[in-house]
Amino acid sequence: MTKGVLLHPAGAMQLRRVLILADSSARWKIAGLRQLDRLLLSLHEFAGATQPNVPVKVCVFWDPAIASCERWVPDTSKLDGLEVIESADEFLAREAPDLALNTRLLLYRESLPSLIAASEQPAGAADAPATEWQDLLRESQGAVPASQGNGEVICWEHLETRADIAGCERRLLKNSGKSQDGLAARFVNRPLSRFISRWLLRTSLTPSTWSMGIFILPLCASVAFVQGTYAGFVAGCAIFQLYSILDGCDGEIARAKFLQSEFGRRLDSLCDLIGNALLALTLG
Question: Packing angle between helix 262-283 and helix 230-246, nearest 10 degrees?
Answer: 170
pLDDT at 144: 59
Q: What confidence tens digit (pLDDT) does each residue in 168-205 have?
A: 999 999 887 666 666 677 778 899 999 999 999 999 99
63 close to 23: Cβ distance less than 8 angstroms:
yes
Q: What is the 3-state secondary structure (H, E, C) of 226-256?
A: CCCCHHHHHHHHHHHHHHHHHCCHHHHHHHH
Q: What confidence tens digit (pLDDT) does each residue in 103-158 have?
A: 999 999 988 888 888 876 544 444 555 678 998 888 877 775 655 555 555 788 88
pLDDT at 34: 96
pLDDT at 2: 46
Beta bridge partners of 156: 107
Q: Which of 72, 36, 69, 28 is nearest to 169 (CA)?
A: 28
40 close to 58: Cβ distance less than 8 angstroms:
yes
Q: Which of 133, 45, 38 is nearest to 82 (CA)?
A: 45
Length of the chain: 284
102 close to 66: Cβ distance less than 8 angstroms:
no
pLDDT category of residue 9 using cuts at 50, 70 and 90 = very low
Mean pLDDT for all residues in the chain: 86
**pTM score of the predicted model:** 0.86
pLDDT at 122: 46
Query: What is the DSSP secondary structure assignment for residue 67, as one 8-state letter?
Result: -
Q: CA of 77: how far to CAs of 28, 82, 97, in Å?
A: 22, 9, 23
* Torsion sign (Cα): 118, 105, 42, 193: negative
175 close to 153: Cβ distance less than 8 angstroms:
yes
Q: What confidence tens digit (pLDDT) does each residue in 224-262 have?
A: 999 999 999 999 999 999 999 999 999 999 999 999 999
Enumerate the domain spans of the chain: 2-168, 179-283
| C-alpha to C-alpha distance for 140 and 130, rounded to whole angstroms | 10
CATH number belonging to domain 179-283 = 1.20.120.1760
DSSP labels for 23-50?
Answer: -GGGG-EETTEEHHHHHHHHHHHHHHHH
